[in-house]
Structure 1
C-alpha cells in the first residue's frame, strides 16, 4: 500500500509539473509581455486617485497595513453593506459591473470592493500566512461596518460578505472560524479547504486501489492504470511544488488566456490586465481629494518588472493561507474565541451561506469543490436568516460575474438576500430559473 500511495503521488506531481512546463513554453512562444502595450490612459482611468470617479478609499489595520477599496456610492452611512473580496490575480476592479448597479444604490446598499493585501492598491504584507491575512480581513470588515453601516440599521441581515476565488476561500474560512462578524456569506466559484481536502483524499484512495489492482496483474489490468490516472487528473494542482520563478510564466499564461477569454475586444483585454496589474508608476503617487495616497509598497510594486509583481502575487498560494491555523489578535479575538477555532477546523459554517457557481469553470473540478458542500451548512435553526442555498449556473465560467449578465444574477441574489422576507431571492430570479439559467437548491 505504501508503494502504491507513493506512486500515485509521484504521478500526480509529474502530471502537474508537465502541465506547468507546457504552459511556460506556450508563454515563451506567445510572449507574456503583452501587458507592456497597455496604454497609460487605461491605467489612469482605473487607478488615478485624483480622478475620483471610482470612489477610491483606504483603511489601515493595527499592523499599519493600508488596504485600498472602492465603493459604489459616495454616501458614507447606509442601511445595508456588502463587502466584496476578489481573488487571484485580480483586484477590486473585477467587481466593476456590480459597483455600477443602480438597483443596489437605489436599495441603499453600499458595496465595498476591498483589495487583498499585496494586490492592486493595497499594501504588501510581510507574509501571506493565515494569521496575517485573516486578522487583516477581520479588522477591515469591522472598520468598514463602523464607517459605513449606520448603527441604527445594524440589524440581522444588514451585512453580507461576498468572495470570489481566493477571496471566496478567505470568506469560507471566516464563515467557519468566526461568529458575529457578518450576517451572511456569499461565495462565487471557490473552494472550502476541509471539503476539498476530504474529496482529494477520496480520489487518492480510489487511485491507490486501482494501482494495487494494476500491480497484481499489470498486463491484464491496464484499465485500472487508466482509471487511477483519471482519479488523479483533477487533483494534480494540489501536488505541485512551490512555483519557481521560471515556471511562474506558465501561471501568467493561464491568466492572460482567461483575460482573452473574458474580453470582447483587445481594448477590453487591456482594461482587465491593467486592473489586475494594479497602479502603474504614474498613478502610484497620485492623491485623493482627501490627500490619501497609495502606500510605499504599492509604489515599489509599480516600479518593479511584471515578473517580480507576479512573484509577489503567487505568494498567496505558497504561505499557508488556505490551510494553516491562525491566532487572533486583540481586535479580532472578540469574533474568534479558542473554542470557536477548534470547531472551525472541522469546517462547519457559522452563518447562512449562499454559494453561486458557474459550472463551466476551467479552474476547478466540480466534484471536488462543489458537490457535497451542503454538509457544512449550518442548520436553519442554528443561525438567523433565510437558510442556505447553492445556485448552479449552467454555461457560466469561473469569472461569470465580470460579464454584464453574470453580474445581474449576483445583483438579483444580493437584492433578494437583503430584502429580509426570506423569499426575495427566488422571486428576483423567477425568470432566470424558468429559462434554465439558474438552478437553486435550498438547504
Structure 2
C-alpha cells in the first residue's frame, strides 16, 4: 500500500467533516427537496446508436459500436463520472476506419454492477478489457482511455502488452505515478482530496445525488471544473448523464467503489513496467483535477511515447476540444 492506512483514515475523517457541513446545511434549509430527483425519460441524444451487450466470463458489459465488424478494433474506455457517451465525438470521427467500440465499464450505466467493493479491483477491471477484446474475436486493439479508463488501459498494457497495438491516454497517468506525485506535491494533493472523501460509506452518494444530481453540473458545467466549450456539452447531454446515473439500476455507489478499492489494490502500486508500444498522451491544460506536469512524468515510463497539450481544455478534453483531439489521434494513428 503506497499510502499507509493511518494516513488514509486521518485525511478521510478530515475531508468528510469538511464536506458534511454543506450537506447538513442543505438538508436543514431545503428539507426533502435536497433529496428530490426528477423522473427522466431517455434523452434523444442516446437514441440511434448501435447499442449491444456481451456476456463475459463473470459479467455482462454494455457497449456502443460504430464502424463495421471487419475493421481493426479501437476500444474506448471511459472514466468517472462518465459512460460510453463521453466518446460520442470520437465514435463518429473514426467509424470509417475502425470498429469503434465504447464500453460502459462494470458498475456504470447499463453494464452489470457487482455489489462488493472488491469486485472493482484493478485486476478485475483489466481482465474485463482482456475478456472483452477476446470475446469480440480480436487478439489485440488500439486502446483509448480517459481518467479511470486510462488508468485501467495503462495497467492492461503492462499485464498484456501483446494485446495492445497503440495506446492513447487522455488526462491520466499511471496510478502509481499519480499517487506518488500527490504525496510529493501539495498542489496535486489539494486537487486529489476527494480520493480520501470517497473512502467514506454513503456520504459521497448522498452528495452526488443531492438536488437532482447537481454535482454532475459542477463536474461538467462549473467554471472550476467544467467543459470550457459548452457548445460541446448541451442541456440534453447533461440530461443524458443524469439519466445514465439514475436509471436501469445505475447509481453513484458502484463507480465510487473504484476509489474505495484503490488504496487496497496493491497491483496499482507495484514496480512500474516500461511500456514499449507507441503511446500518445493528450492533456487538456486547464484540468482542475490533475496537474499538467503529470503528462511529462508519464513519458518517463514510455520508450515510444509523446505528449501533446491542448491549451485551455478541461479534464474532459475529448469532449471539450474534439476537433483538436481527433486530429492528434489521427496523426498518431497514421504513423508506422
4+ residue runs over 6 A deviation: 5-11, 29-32
**1:254-275 CA distance string (max 9 Å, x none):** 433123344848x923433424
8 Å CA contact 1:186–1:356 kept in 2: the answer is yes
- Matching residue of 1:314: 256
Q: Partners in 2 of 1:57 and 1:16 — Cα distance? A: 40
8 Å CA contact 2:283–2:310 kept in 1: the answer is yes
CA gap of 1:125–1:10, structure 2 versus 1, over 3 A, is closer
Say what the alpha-carbon RMSD is for the aligned residues: 3.5
Q: Partners in 2 of 1:200 and 1:169 — Cα distance? A: 16
Deviates more, 1:233-242 or 1:353-362: 233-242
- Matching residue of 1:409: 324
Does 2:317 align with 1:400?
yes
Q: How high is the TM-score relative to the length of structure 2? A: 0.79
Q: Partners in 1 of 2:35 and 2:236 — Cα distance? A: 12
Q: Partners in 1 of 2:16 and 2:128 — Cα distance? A: 33
- Matching residue of 1:98: 90
8 Å CA contact 2:61–2:104 kept in 1: the answer is yes
- Matching residue of 2:133: 141
Q: Partners in 2 of 1:322 and 1:397 — Cα distance? A: 29
SS of the residue 2:135 aligns to: helix
**1:235-256 CA distance string (max 9 Å, x none):** 5344446233134333454433
CA gap of 1:323–1:27, structure 2 versus 1, over 3 A, is farther
Give the superposition deviation at 1:356. 0.5
Does 2:277 align with 1:351?
yes
Q: How high is the TM-score relative to the length of structure 1? A: 0.62
**1:73-92 CA distance string (max 9 Å, x none):** 3x2211x3210001112111
**Gap runs ≥5 in structure 1:** 48-52, 147-153, 204-228, 282-298, 303-308, 327-341, 379-386, 422-443
Does 2:261 align with 1:259?
no
CA gap of 1:199–1:6, structure 2 versus 1, over 3 A, is same
Deviates more, 1:127-136 or 1:252-261: 252-261
Q: Partners in 2 of 1:20 and 1:420 — Cα distance? A: 47
- Matching residue of 1:243: 200
**1:166-187 CA distance string (max 9 Å, x none):** 1111011112232201111111
Does 2:64 align with 1:70?
yes
- Matching residue of 2:16: 17
8 Å CA contact 2:121–2:265 kept in 1: the answer is no
Larger Rg, first or second structure (1 or 2): 1
- Matching residue of 1:325: 267
Between Structure 1 and Structure 2, how many residues are aligned?
A: 317
